[in-house]
Amino acid sequence: MKRVLVVISILSALLSSPILAALGDDEGRVEGLFGAPVKESAPDKRGIITRLYQKGKYDILVQFLNHLSLAESYARPDQLPLSQSEIDAFLEGSSNGRPWTKDPNKQAWERADHKAKAWIATVKERSTLLIEAE
């Protein structure tokens, strides 16, 4: 019985931990979630570094400033559009516990604290969810 409780406790901890990066996460946390980047740019004139990760069926670009993420984008390499459930999951991952409000006129959202925005855009012929700290 004691073994069963230990296994249940471990599974609960694993399943309850977030599997998506959030704006403001540090480089170590992002790498822990997505693995090593497959491509990295040199810092731009403002010091922003862009890293490309490939996790499951997604290409994920994360921009870092002072070792903290300030923007993310999610796209499928097969060029299929993101489903609403995929979009919802990515927004939830970057919610920091705050709800997102959808713009009724377009595929765009604003986080309740007004410190992040998200939108769908076509980037390199792929439907892409972009999430950015304000």
Is position 1 within any domain?
Answer: no
* 16, β-bridge pairs: none
- Write out pLDDT tens, residues 50-93: 999 999 999 999 999 999 999 999 999 999 999 999 999 999 99
Helices (H) and strands (E) in the chain, counts: 3, 8
Is position 38 within any domain?
Answer: yes
Of 20, 16, 37, whose CA–CA distance to 91 is shortest? 20
Q: Which domain holds residue 98?
A: 21-133
3 state DSSP class of 117:
strand
Rounded Cα distance, 81 and 87, in Å? 10
- Write out pLDDT tens, residues 32-53: 999 999 999 999 999 999 999 9
User: Total domain count for the chain?
Assistant: 1
Cβ proximity of 64 and 27 under 8 Å: yes
Is position 98 within any domain?
Answer: yes
Q: Tally Cβ neighbours within 10 Å of residue 68.
A: 15
Is position 2 within any domain?
Answer: no
